[in-house]
Amino acid sequence: MAAPGAFYITTPIYYVNDVPHIGHAYTSLACDVMARFHRLDGKRVMFLTGTDEHGQKVEKSAQAAGMDPQAFCDRVSQNFRDLSGLMGYSNDDFIRTTEDRHVRACQALWRAVVAAGNDDIYLGKYAGWYSVRDEAFYGEDELVDSPAGKRAPSGAPVEWVEEPSYFFRLSAWQDRLLAFYDANPDFILPPARRNEVVSFVKSGLRDLSISRTSFRWGIPVPDAPSHIMYVWFDALTNYITAVGYPDMAGAAFSTFWPATHIVGKDILRFHAVYWPAFLMAAGVAPPARVFAHGWWTVEGQKMSKSLGNFIPPHDLVAKYGLDPVRYFVLRELPFGADGDFSHRAVVNRLNGDLANDLGNLVQRVLSFIAKNGSGQVPNPSELAPEDEKLLAASAALHATTRARIDRQELHTALEEIWRVIGDANRYVDAQAPWTLRKTDPARMATVLYALTDAIRRVAIVLQPFMPTAAGRILDQLAVPTGAARQLEAMGGAPKLVPGTALPQPEGVFPRYVEAAA
C-alpha cells in the first residue's frame, strides 16, 4: 500500500522509433494535470514518464537510420525529454529502459518470478505470428486477411517466428486475474474498457512468450544470456524501477507503489492483464489503476506518416500558445473516448471557452475595478444571498473537481469549472455593477468583491490545467505564491484582503484571429 497522502502516476514509456506527436503529448498532458492537481491538493506526488528503448522495432529503426542502437536511442529519447519542456510537464523522473537501474530491476523481477517456485516461467519454443510494429504475438485466429496478406487486428504486418523462448504461464492466472478485477472494480477505467478486459480474460489466456533469441537489442535473461527479454516484460517493469525496485522496503517504493497508469486503449491489455500477472507472480502488489484513454484522429483521418498529418506538438504550441493547447485537448474529448483534432475545433474552444467565457469574465471585472474602484481589492459590506451562492459554488469546486479527477474524468472537472464561470458571467450581468456605481456604490463594491473572490477560486483550481494563465490571473489578484494558491485555500471564508493594491489588469486570453492568407 502506498503511504497515505502519496500519489504515483505514470505515462506509457514511448518507443524511440519516432518523433513525438500530439497523441504522445496528450497522454503525458493528462498525467501532468493529475500530478499537479494532487500536489496542489497537498499530496506527495511522483509523476513518471520516459522512453522504451529495446526490442526489434527500435533496433530496426536504428538500422534504418544507419546508427548504433544506443546512439539512436540517445538521440530520439532526447526528443521526448524536450517535449516535457515544451508542454510544461512537471514529471519528477524520466526513465530510459537502457539505464542500469532498469536492467537490474528487470532481472530482479524475472528472478523473483522464478524464485516464487510456481513454475510460472518455463523454457519452450515459440512458433507463431509476431508483429514488430505492435511488438506483440498473435494467434492465427486473431489475424485478419488483407490484400497485402495477413495482418494483426491493429492492421500491422505480421511475420512467422520460430525460436527457443521462455514462456510466462499466463494460462494459470485467469481465475486469479478475474478475482482481482472483481475485488477491485475500479482497477480498470473507464468501465467499458474494464468489461472488454474481463471478457478477454474469461475467454481463456494463452501462455506468453517472454524472451527472444533471434536478435540482441534487449536485456539478457538472468542465467540464460542467449535470450533477451520480450520488450513488454522489460518495458512494463519501468514503473517499479523508478521507485527503486527491487528495494521494496526503500522509501520510494513504500511511499509510492502502487501506481495509477494512464495509457492509450491500444496498450490496455499489456497493462491490465500481463502486468498484474507478472507482478503477482513475483510477489509484488499489482498497480492501483489502469485508465485507458481514446484515440485522436486529425481532421477526420488516422494520424500516419504516409498521410503526412502527424501533428508535432511544437507547431501547435507555436500557433495557439501552450495553455490553450493544454485546455483544448483535455476539454474537447471526454477522457476515455476517441475524438478528432481539427483546427476549427481548437479555434472554437479558444475563442469561446477561453476568450469569451473566462477571459472576458476576468477582464471585465478587473478592468472595471481598475477604472472605478481605485485599483484595489474592493471593500465589501454584508453579502446578499446571491453573493453567497456564487461564492459557495466556486468554493465547492475543490471537492467536485477532486471527485472527478480521482476517476480521471478531466473533461467533467473542466465542465464543473466552466459552470461556475458561466454563473459568474450571469451574476455580473444580473448585478450590473456599472449601474450600481451611480445608485449604490457600497453594493457595487460587494458585488465586485464576490466576483474577485470567485475568480480567485476558479484560477486556483485551473492551475493544473493551465498553469501559466491561471498563475497570471492569480498575479492580477495579488494572491501570493505558496499556500494561498493551494486548493485548500479555496475553502471557507473569502480570502482576498480588501484594500490590497491590484496590478494593472491585462488580457489573459486574446481571441485567435486567423492570419490573412
Give residues in contact with ligand ME8 (CB under 6 A): 12-15, 23-24, 26-27, 52, 235-236, 238, 263-264, 266-267, 295-296, 303
DSSP one-letter string for 354-408 = IIIIIIHHHHHHHHHHHHHSTTB-----SPPHHHHHHHHHHHHHHHHHHHHHHTT
Report the residue number, 240 or 267, with the smaller CB distance to ligand ME8: 267
Q: Tell me if residue 222 falls in helix, strand or coil.
A: coil
- CA dihedral defined by 201, 207, 208, 213, rounded to 10 degrees? -170
Among residues 26 and 166, whose Cβ is nearest to ligand ME8? Answer: 26
Which residue from 259, 226, 211, 333 is spatially nearest to 13, judged by alpha carbons?
Answer: 259
What is the nearest approach in angstroms of ligand ME8 to the Cβ of residue 125?
A: 26
Q: Please, what is the minimum distance in Å from the beta carbon of residue 151 to ligand ME8?
A: 17
**In the complex, minimum distance from the CB of residue 157 to ligand ME8, in angstroms, rounded to a whole number:** 16
Determine contact, residues 454/424, Cβ cutoff 8 Å.
yes
Q: Around Cβ 409, how many Cβ atoms within 10 Å? A: 20
CA–CA separation, 96 and 80 (whole Å) = 11
Place of cell 468489461: 195
Which lies closer to ligand ME8 via its Cβ, residue 57 or residue 456? 57
Q: How far is the CB of 411 from ligand ME8 (least distance, A)?
A: 15
Residue 272's CB is within 10 A of a number of other CB atoms, namely 29
> Measured from the CB of residue 510, what is the shortest distance to ligand ME8 in angstroms?
29
- Using CB positions, name the residue nearest to ligand ME8: 23
In degrees and rounded to multiples of 5, residue 186 shows phi and psi of: -100, 15
Nearer to ligand ME8, 309 or 367 (CB): 309
Cβ atoms 272, 290 nearer than 8 A: yes
Of the pair 15, 72, the CB lying nearest ligand ME8 is at 15
CB of 392 to ligand ME8, least distance (A): 37
Task: Kindly state the smallest distance separating residue 333's Cβ from ligand ME8, in Å.
Answer: 9
For residues 296 and 23, the answer to whether their CB atoms sit within 8 Å is yes
Closest distance to ligand ME8 from the beta carbon of 332 (Å): 12
Inter-helix orientation angle 69-87/22-40, to 10°: 50
Report in angstroms how near the CB of residue 16 gets to ligand ME8 at its nearest: 8
Choose between 14 and 167: whose C-beta lies nearer to ligand ME8.
Answer: 14
- Please say which residue, 274 or 427, places its beta carbon nearer to ligand ME8: 274
3-class DSSP assignment, residue 229:
strand
Residue with smaller CB distance to ligand ME8, 294 or 441: 294
Query: Before 480, cis peptide (omega within 30)?
Result: no
User: In angstroms, what is the minimal distance from the CB of 180 to ligand ME8?
Assistant: 19
Of all helices (H) and strands (E), which one includes residue 117? none
SS3 319: helix
* Distance in Å, CB of 97 to ligand ME8, minimum: 9
Query: With respect to ligand ME8, which residue has the nearer C-beta, 235 or 421?
Result: 235
- E strand segments, 311-444: 339-341
CA distance 281 to 307: 43
359's grid cell: 477571459
Pairing between β-strand 6-15 and β-strand 260-264 as defined by DSSP bridges? parallel
Tell me whether residue 235 or residue 240 sits nearer to ligand ME8 (CB atom).
Answer: 235
Cis peptide before 190 (omega within 30 of 0): yes
Picking from 231, 111, 118, the residue whose alpha carbon sits closest to that of residue 172 is 118
CB 485 within 8 A of CB 479: yes
Neighbours of 421 (CB within 10 A): 20
Closer residue to ligand ME8, CB minimum distance, 21 or 456: 21
